[in-house]
Amino acid sequence: MPTKKRQKSALRKPVVKKKPAGKVLSRQKTAASAPKTATRRDYKALFHRKMTENHLFYEVGRIIATETEPFELIKKIISVINKEVPFEDSAVYTVKKDMTGLDPFYYSGPSFRKAVLDTVYYDNGAPGNIASTGESIFLQDAALYEGFLQHPEEHRKPGSYLGIALKNESRVIGVMGFSHSEPRAFRVDDLDTIRTLSPLISAGFEKAELFRKTLELSRVDELTGLLNYRVLMEKLTEEVRRKIRTGRAFSFIMVDIDDFKRVNDRYGHLEGSRLIAQMGPLLRSACRTDSTDICFRYGGEEFSILLTETTMEEAEAVAERVRKTVDEYPFTVKVSHPTEIVSVSLGVSCMSGDKQKSITELINEADIALYQAKAAGKNRVVCYAEGCGMPAASATDRKGLP
């Protein structure tokens, strides 16, 4: 049996020498401070990125809310994105109606100063691949990517590229791409930012396109595809102001289908509508619509042509070409009824020299010349002459009148 003294010593726990409290605390503080600094840095970068995204969302949303013209909308959005993403060149393509490829819509930057972009077909080049797959492309060095080039004359060169698809709920509607001449100019964060913006940009672009089409429908005659009377008045007002400012002459032509009532009475209103519909593209093809001439449907079977910077003699030559083209054109009513004749009479007026006229006077002069052409036997061109008046109504025209 051990003694009490030995029992006490056996039960006694070994003494552990304590380290100074100050040193332990300082180590703990040092160990804890390192991760907190790193965390602070991570949060700071994340906070900055989120603030950048929020600012971009605000700016893009503001542009979409205020801009209704698609080209200006894209131009302003590209400019805002360039404040945060360091690209040099940008290009936006829209999907063709037949969905076979992409048409260039907007492009800017040093690489495009003397370039004219062509259609890019699906699976051809970076834009074509984005359009066909709907997926983004992020390249640190475009020279290493086999499928980057989209045109035969392009040469492979180093540089960075990122591109996104613009989509609606059902399909890809376009492609937006950004590039830089230096490799590794973009970060993954740049791609994430633009990819986050893409649904908003897509919705804004579709809204602007819908507004443009609606506005276009309100300005275009549905049957002929020509501009309507309201736009004619706007254009005439512009030309009168330009004439006052520059002194340059302009002319106006009234066109009327001869004996149109006979076509309606003999073959029905459907055939009459076909005849009017065919006159639209025919007038555009006979006039200089790529430069100075603008064609309108005045109303009913009457049409008009505004010829900017054109003298009376030049307008008469255009009117004669229109008359001859109509006379020789195989309208469906002529094909179905070979004996049927389709012709037009045309009246020409002009605003030139120091004498100023109102729009009403200019139209009235062309109208008088047109009725002179009708009275002279139809299917001819008459230019307005000073002092010329409305021809006396024939017995047939007076029928039913007091």
In angstroms, the Cα distances linking 258 to 255, 305, 318, 370 are 9, 17, 19, 11
Task: State the greatest distance between any 2 C-alpha atoms of the chain, in Å, as a whole number.
Answer: 157
Q: How many CB atoms lie within 10 A of CB 157?
A: 12
**C-alpha torsion 131→133→135→141, nearest 10:** -80
Q: Evaluate if residue 123 carries a pLDDT over 50.
A: yes
Q: How many CB atoms lie within 10 A of CB 316?
A: 19
**Cα–Cα distance, 193 to 54 (Å, whole number):** 10
- Give kind and range of the element (H or E) at residue 106: strand 101-108
Task: Find out whether 70 and 205 touch, Cβ atoms under 8 Å.
Answer: yes
Tell me the pLDDT band of 318, cut-offs 50, 70 and 90. very high
Rounded to two decimals, what is the model's pTM?
A: 0.60
pLDDT per position as a tens digit, 173-225: 999 999 999 999 999 989 998 999 999 999 999 999 999 888 888 899 989 99
**C-alpha torsion 122→127→132→137, nearest 10:** 150
For tokens 């549905």, what's the residue? 222
pLDDT per position as a tens digit, 4-39: 445 444 445 555 555 555 444 444 444 445 555 545
Name which residue leads in pLDDT, 79 or 357: 79
Domains of the chain: 65-217 (3.30.450.40), 229-398 (3.30.70.270)
Tell me the pLDDT band of 114, cut-offs 50, 70 and 90. confident
Q: Evaluate if residue 119 carries a pLDDT over 50.
A: yes
Burial class (CB in 10 A: 0-12, 13-18, 19+), 227: buried
